[in-house]
Structure 1
Amino acid sequence: MNTQQFRQTIKKKWLDYYVENRVWIARLQVWVNCDGQRRPSSSFILATLASLEPQLNQLLPLIVDLSSNPDRIIAALDLNFNPDEQLKAASKPSPKALENGSVKQKPANDALKFLPAASFYETDLPANQVSHLISKIDESCEGGRSGRSVES
């Protein structure tokens, strides 16, 4: 098994899943700041990938025997990154591609548009900003919660 290729495969699956589900993931209280990176919790990422990648599901018992710390597992799988920043960086063309003219700039009106997320809080903010505020309610890497919890 090529470990680098495996890491790239699960990274792609995680980012694809995140793109498809970012509206509700952004609103969950699963966000952490770990080693300077803001991302969903390690447990959330591992549980998601275990259902998306059968090979990881088979390897997890061995991986957990080696380290039961989910943050270390995420770091070893090269998944300790902010998915929004990763997607933004991946969507930018390289300077060389721009120089060669091989990348055509799309007009701004071709950008993806999402419906605004529903809000748990009454607010005067536009709906598209509310989900960003809710997603900032973080947990620490140690598993403790900080911030206020969302109650219905």
Structure 2
Amino acid sequence: MNITKDFTDLKKELKEKWLVYCERNETWIFNLMDSHRLWVKTQENIEEDLKSFIDANWQTSRPNSDFMIGVVSILSPQICEFIEVIMTATTDRTSIIKSLDLDFDPFLEIERRKFSQNQQATLIPASSELDDIREQIKQNSGETT
């Protein structure tokens, strides 16, 4: 059993679960964080090409650490063992979030992924276009369908 590898794998899995959770619950998370001023600023740069895809006034932030620790402990119960170990070194909840590699704006990451998918979709022809190209190749090579 390699604890470091297990922890690394668990953090990757946790990040994906966290992003899915945030995307599915975006409306009420925003309402809660906004109404109680629970956003924590993050130190992220927004890529230039992404700026045209998102709100121009986007401020990078994430939900507060207590909220996040509660959610991730439900999303991934095995993470609780690691949180207990981390808490022997520090009770600073922001440090715990950083050690879990979750100190980023989840909604910005979701937008990054949407933007990336959008960019890829424009590079890949639709299947009907591919079918047309295949048909032309067959016709040019003398094949019949």
CA distance in 2, matches of 1:65, 1:84: 31
CA distance in 2, matches of 1:49, 1:102: 39
Corresponding residue for 1:8? 12
Corresponding residue to 1:32 among 37, 40, 43: 40
CA apart distance, 1:92: 2.2
Corresponding residue for 2:132? none
Larger radius of gyration: 2
Unaligned runs of 5+ in 2: 45-59, 128-145
CA apart distance, 1:68: 0.9
Q: Under a length normalisation based on structure 2, what TM-score does the superposition of the two structures give?
A: 0.61
Query: Contact (CA 8 Å) 2:83, 2:96: kept in 1 or not?
Result: no
Amino acid at match of 2:104: F
4+ runs deviating over 4 angstroms = 34-37, 94-100
> Normalized per residue, which structure has more strand?
1
Residue 69, structure 1, aligned to residue 92, structure 2 = yes
- Percent identity, aligned pairs only, is 25
Change in 2 beyond 3 A, CA 1:24/1:63: same
CA apart distance, 1:58: 2.2
CA apart distance, 1:4: 2.5
Change in 2 beyond 3 A, CA 1:12/1:102: farther
CA distance in 2, matches of 1:95, 1:25: 25
Query: Contact (CA 8 Å) 2:42, 2:105: kept in 1 or not?
Result: no
Unaligned runs of 5+ in 1: 105-152
CA distance in 2, matches of 1:76, 1:60: 9
Q: Partner of 2:73: helix, strand, or coil?
A: helix
CA apart distance, 1:24: 0.6
Corresponding residue to 1:92 among 95, 109, 115: 115
Query: Contact (CA 8 Å) 1:63, 1:73: kept in 2 or not?
Result: yes
Structure of higher RCO (CA pairs closer than 8 Å, 6+ residues apart): 1
> Normalized per residue, which structure has more helix?
2
Change in 2 beyond 3 A, CA 1:8/1:18: same
Q: Under a length normalisation based on structure 1, what TM-score does the superposition of the two structures give?
A: 0.58
CA apart distance, 1:101: 2.1
Corresponding residue to 1:46 among 65, 69, 74: 69
Query: Contact (CA 8 Å) 1:18, 1:83: kept in 2 or not?
Result: yes
